[in-house]
Structure 1
Amino acid sequence: MAVSVFAPASLANFSVGFDALGLAVQPVDGTLLGDLVKVEKSTGTDGNRLKVVGEFAHKLPSLPEDNIVWSCLHLFNEAMADAGFETQKVTITLEKKMPVGSGLGSSACSVVAALAGLNAFYQNCFDEKAMLKMMGQMEAKISGSLHYDNVAPCYLGGLQLMVPDGQIISRTLPDFKDCFYVMAYPGIEVSTKAAREVLPDNYSRKDLLAYGQNLAAFVDACHRQDKAQAFAVLQDVVAEPYRQSLLPGYEQARHYLLAQGSLAVGISGSGPTLFCVCDQQERAQELARWLQDNYLQTELGFVHICRVDDLGARTIED
């Protein structure tokens, strides 16, 4: 038996919701923007094995025990043992389609695809909540703090709001189905750890009020499907003012994209990927071409026009 699971890219924070909002995205041209994990029973005398392939495989540690997918296997097997389930020796193949340090939830893609793949291989021994908690635990190991704004949308799909309830974790918000999200990865890396270190330890009362009002207004607008209000308040007062210095060309691109009719522009996750929102595909295509010419910095960079990915992690037929 072999099972393959794809986990899509995600746009964490969504400007207005630092560590509280995440959006799963998929390119309109059908490109699989995310990671793919295949789990199959090891043959003969082989024990557990990990293979890493794909465009960005060279960016990952060479030793299996240093790879987050290997850690996922151990965590999952421990959970299986605690629940009284037997495990088999498996071979896991990670097809690393996502650039590391891109701000598109690269580590979350690997974690979600690996754990969801293992759960599917064992006929779904664990429910959605248990799986999400395991995914959050692995993400915390990577970034140093527990936050679900990448793993929740990557696993569940859609627009996810993190809630302060360990039993619920995340709520799905209504999103805007007619919107296009232009994602531009310039081809350089920004680590989540480094992006967090540039943030201040304390914020002013003015910033706290602005953050709370903007996030509340955005959630309200989502439920009322008020697109104008939703994107009018899509302002980042928590991270963007401090992180934009890590993103060459971001400030200039932001001014241009807004002047050309983007509904909103922001940093995806901790960067360096930039996103802009349009409600017309023709405009999205025009801005994608401009970003291709003016925001990318290396041959690894790319631009994708995306819609919301409502499916999240899912099995893929070989």
Structure 2
Amino acid sequence: MSVSVFAPISIGNLSVGFDTLGLAISPIDGKLVGDIVRVEEASHNQFVLTGSHTSKLPDDENNIVWQSLLAFDQALEQSEQATVPIKITLEKNIPVSSGLGSSACSVVASLVALNEFYHRPFSDIQLLKLMGEQESAISGSLHYDNVAPCFLGGLQLMLNKQNQITQKLPVFEDVYWTIAYPDVEVSTKAAREILPDNYSRSTLIEFGQNLAGFIDASYRQDKTQAFNSIVDVVAEPHRTSLIPNFLESKSTLIEMGNLAVGISGSGPTLFAATDDLATAQASALWLNDHYLQSENGFVHICKADLIGARKI
């Protein structure tokens, strides 16, 4: 028996919701941009690394996929369930430190595949907690804004409650999310360390107003209010120095008619949102010519991925 699971990329923070919002996305051309993990029974536990973005990843027990296997086995043992030797294969199809939830994709695909292989011994909330623990080992802190949308799909609001970590929000299904990865490495740890330890009262008030306004508008499907609320007062002012040409690109993309432009997760990937396909296509062409730093960069026009991780 073997099980293969695909986990999609995601936009963490969505500018307006630092560590609080995350959106799963998939390219409109049908490409599976994310990670694929295959689990099959074997004579002994083993890990195989393949895919287009393997050069910066360990191919041994230090890989997060192997660590996820060990954590899953431990959870099975703690619940007095038997384990069997596993061969687990990661097909890594997105770069690390991209701002697209790379480590979350690996963790989510691994744990969902293992759960399916063992005929779903764990609930979604149990899996999500395992995912958060494993992803935090890479990012340096516990936050669910990539693993939750990657796992459950759509737009997720983090609640950080014991029995409800996240809540799915309504999405604007006609909005295109153009993403551009320039091939500049920005580690999540470095992007978090550059942030200040304290924020002013006025910044906290503005953050709360923007987030509340976005959530309210999402439920009412008020696109104007929602995208006017996508303003990052927490991270973007400090992280732009880590991302070449971000501010210039943002200004141009807004002039081209995009509803909002921001940093995806910790960067360096940029996102631009519009409800007009022609604008998205023009933005993609411009980003390809002016934002990418090498031939290893990429641009995709996406929509919200409402499914999340799934067997393939």
Is the CA contact (8 Å cut-off) linking 2:37 and 2:90 kept in structure 1? yes
1:165 aligns with 2:154: no
Mapping for residues 181-260 of structure 1, pairs under 5 Å: 181-260=177-256
Gaps of 5+ in 1: none
Question: In structure 2, what residue type is equivalent to 1:21?
Answer: L
Secondary structure at 2:96 match in 1: coil
Post-superposition Cα deviations, 1:125-173, rounded to whole Å, max 9, x if no partner, equal 1010000000000011111211000000000000000013121000000
Q: CA deviation at 1:299?
A: 1.5
Query: Who is 1:305 aligned against?
Result: 301
Q: Which segments of structure 1 move beyond 4 Å, counting only runs of 4 or more?
A: none
Shift of 1:233: 0.9
Q: Specify which of 46, 53, 56 is matched with residue 50 of structure 2.
A: 53
Aligned match for 2:120, one of 124, 145, 150: 124
Matched letter for residue 71 of structure 2: L
Structure 1 CA distance, aligned partners of 2:182 and 2:163?
38
Larger displacement relative to structure 2 (46-55 or 10-19): 46-55
CA distance in 2, matches of 1:125, 1:98: 29
How many angstroms apart in 1 are the aligned matches of 2:139 and 2:271? 22
Equivalence for 2:32: 32
Q: Under a length normalisation based on structure 1, what TM-score does the superposition of the two structures give? A: 0.97
Shift of 1:232: 0.3
Match of 2:271, as an amino acid? Answer: F
Please state how far the C-alpha of 1:59 moved relative to its aligned partner: 1.6
Residue 274 of structure 1 is matched in structure 2 by 270
Matching of residue 147 in structure 1 with residue 135 in structure 2: no
Alignment partners' CA distance in 2, 1:300 and 1:176:
30
Q: Return the letter of the residue paired with 1:38.
A: R
Aligned residues between the structures = 312
How far off its partner does 1:190 sit? Answer: 0.6
Counterpart AA for 1:272: P
Identify the residue that residue 8 of structure 2 maps to in structure 1.
8
- Secondary structure class of the residue paired with 2:157: strand
Residues 278-302 of structure 1: CA deviation (Å, up to 9, x unaligned): 1011110011000000000011100
Report the CA distance between 1:74 and its aligned residue: 0.5
Shift, 1:73, TM fit: 0.4
Residue 84 (structure 1) shift: 1.2
Aligned to 2:61, the other structure's residue is in SS state helix
- Distance in structure 2 (CA, Å) of the matches to 1:131 and 1:270: 24
Equivalent residues of 2:184, 2:243 under 8 A apart: no
Q: Deviations over 1:88-141 (max 9, x none)?
A: 101001000010000000000000000001000001110100000000000111
Q: CA deviation at 1:187?
A: 1.1
CA RMSD of aligned residues (A): 0.6
Identity %: 57
The residue identity in structure 1 corresponding to 2:24 is A
Which sits farther off after the overlay, 163-172 or 194-203? 163-172
Aligned partner letter, 1:20: T
Rounded Cα–Cα distance in structure 1 between residues aligned with 2:81 and 2:301 = 43
Residue 52 of structure 2 aligns to which amino acid in structure 1?
A: E
Residue 21 of structure 1 corresponds to which residue in structure 2? 21
What's the TM-score, normalizing by structure 2? 0.99
Separation in structure 2 between the aligned mates of residue 159 and residue 68 of structure 1, nearest angstrom: 25
Aligned residue among 96, 102, 116 for 1:100:
96
Supply the AA of the counterpart residue of 2:238.
Y
* Alpha-carbon shift at residue 179 of structure 1 (Å): 0.2
What residue is the counterpart of 1:289 in the other structure?
A: 285
Deviations 1:187-238 (A, max 9, x none): 1211000000100001011100000000000000000000000000100000
Matching residue's letter, 1:175 = V
